[in-house]
Amino acid sequence: MTLVTLDQVHVLQGARQVLDHVSLELRRGEIVTVVGPNGSGKTTLMRTILGALAPVSGRVTRHPDLRIGYVPQRLSIDATLPMNVARFLSLPRRQSPQTVAAALADADLSGMQDRPVATLSGGQLQRLLLARALLDAPDLLILDEPTTGLDQPGAAAFYRRIEAIRDTRGCAVLMVSHDLHVVMAASDRVICLNGHICCHGAPETVASAPEYRALFGSGTQGALALYKHEHSHTHHDHDHDHGSHR
């Protein structure tokens, strides 16, 4: 089932054209990652899909009654605010204890209802934002650079959790990421954006595309092969190029 379709979308930020002829489809159950250099329009694309920005031409079509859960890059919370996790998740709308418990379990924060938000680690706070995005049982989960500030093992664990949520809830996931190595392995499809869509497809296809390599160098494919090797414990004869990292 197609959840969102963008057809030849053009979006301006101020007078500047940021998205140019962008067409894509998001389908139920898939994990799609958008990669691209700084200023390439990734956040603009997320906000266009959310409906916060309108295209000047082209069309965005959302499935009727589509529910979108959004995980922002970061949240500025006043660290001195005396608020616990359960209360944070019941703002602005009251949620049942069961809904809160299920969202916390999916975000690997089981039993944390009474913890003051100010005492959470960076990784736990990120997962709290994930739990909040799960409260309304979204069909599509949008995450904008969700692992900013996490170290590589923390980011890898976060992406595995996202995969588990997709598997159990069946929602689609669209995310922006700079963690190229890990994310390439955790995605069904990758879209490489630089104002327009430079290339897209399976992670392996994108990692070896000349357009992608021109933007990110050639190191990622080797790291991808390495990650998959460790992850699956199978022994494929990948075209390793570990020596050529940027």
Ligand X SMILES: Nc1ncnc2c1ncn2[C@@H]1O[C@H](COP(=O)(O)OP(=O)(O)OP(=O)(O)O)[C@@H](O)[C@H]1O
For binding to ligand X (CB under 6 A), which residues are involved? 13-14, 16, 18, 36, 38-44
Q: Which residues pair with 175 in a beta bridge?
A: 33, 143
Pull the structure tokens for residue 204. Answer: 């392996």
Place of tokens 């995450």: 143
The nearer residue to ligand X, 39 or 111, going by C-beta atoms, is 39
Look at strands 196-201 and 189-194 and give their pairing. Answer: antiparallel
Single out the residue of 31, 29, 23 nearest to residue 5, CA to CA: 23
The nearer residue to ligand X, 43 or 187, going by C-beta atoms, is 43
Rounded to an integer, what distance in angstroms lies between the CA atom of residue 99 and that of residue 135? 6
For the bound state, the minimum distance from the C-beta of residue 19 to ligand X, rounded and expressed in Å, comes to 8
For the bound state, the minimum distance from the C-beta of residue 176 to ligand X, rounded and expressed in Å, comes to 7
The nearer residue to ligand X, 60 or 109, going by C-beta atoms, is 60
For the bound state, the minimum distance from the C-beta of residue 78 to ligand X, rounded and expressed in Å, comes to 24
- In sign, the C-alpha dihedral spanning 67, 64, 19, 245 is positive
The nearer residue to ligand X, 116 or 149, going by C-beta atoms, is 149
For the bound state, the minimum distance from the C-beta of residue 232 to ligand X, rounded and expressed in Å, comes to 30
DSSP state of 107: T
